[in-house]
Amino acid sequence: MEYRSIDNIDIYDSPNLDRLATQMAKGRYLEIVTDREVRLLEDGYTGFIRTEDLAKLQFSGLVCYYPSVLTEIEIRQRIPDVVAYIQAASQQQNEYLWGGTVPPSYDCSGLIQSAFASVGVWIPRDAYQQEGFVLTIRLEDLSIGDLIFFGTELKANHVAIYVGEGRYIHSSGKDRGRNGIGIDLLAGVDRISQTYAEQLRGAGRVTHCYQA
């Protein structure tokens, strides 16, 4: 059975509810797996919610959520609004929040996912999932709205969105010299840009919507 949220809900990564995994924005759909365990239908993410947050769920029927099906061209037409969402978010008072996907504070992949969701394009939740989901492109072929991935040789653990002229915008934590949303340069010589340059993995383009 499917439920629709009538308010924002925090989703935790264990029944102990001691670490935020993601957030469910008002209007999203989920199914209850067992007791307080839930699965978000737009991206397949699973986690646990507080008992009191069950009151924020409204039964929507057996099958009410229908994934978006958009062409690559339709998605590209929505990219200006994706970038505008992130630029507007950067103008609000914010800080880096692990698991954050609702305003005003986000983590890196939560910001990207929320920006695309704002225009009806659903992509996976975490950076490494997003890297596996997009169409891989060369860095020299970057265009506005493409995603840039950072991390180790084994796995992406950070993601940003390209905004043109060698710049990308992302939400990053204090350990990287920032605490929230900001713009850095692929070829920058400042400490933050250099830190990320050393962890650059590659880039990708969103060409389709996530289908559970």
CATH topology of domain 72-205: endopeptidase fold (from Nostoc punctiforme) (3.90.1720)
Decide: 160 and 166 in contact? Cβ < 8 Å: no
Using CA atoms, how far residue 50 sits from 32, 36, 102, in Å, is: 13, 7, 18
pLDDT of residue 61: 78
Annotated catalytic residue: which of 64, 108, 208, 209? 108
Residue 177: band (very low, low, confident or very high) from pLDDT cuts 50, 70, 90: confident
pLDDT digits (tens, 9 = 90+) for 159-168: 999 999 999 9
Q: What average pLDDT does the structure give for the chain?
A: 95
Annotated catalytic residue: which of 64, 158, 208, 209? 158
pLDDT of residue 63: 76
Annotated catalytic residue: which of 64, 170, 208, 209? 170
- Percent above pLDDT 70 for the chain: 100
- List the chain domain ranges: 2-61, 72-205
pLDDT digits (tens, 9 = 90+) for 40-88: 999 999 999 999 999 999 998 777 788 889 999 999 999 999 999 999 9
Query: Is 174 a residue whose pLDDT tops 90?
Result: no
208 is catalytic: no
What does CATH list as the number for 2-61?
A: 2.30.30.40
pLDDT digits (tens, 9 = 90+) for 183-212: 999 999 999 999 999 999 999 999 999 987
Report the pLDDT averaged over residues 8-28: 96
Residue 176: band (very low, low, confident or very high) from pLDDT cuts 50, 70, 90: confident
Residue 15: band (very low, low, confident or very high) from pLDDT cuts 50, 70, 90: very high
Query: Is 11 a residue whose pLDDT tops 80?
Result: yes
Burial class (CB in 10 A: 0-12, 13-18, 19+), 204: buried
Report the pLDDT averaged over residues 5-33: 96
Query: By C-alpha distance, which of 154, 159, 171 is closest to 203?
Result: 159
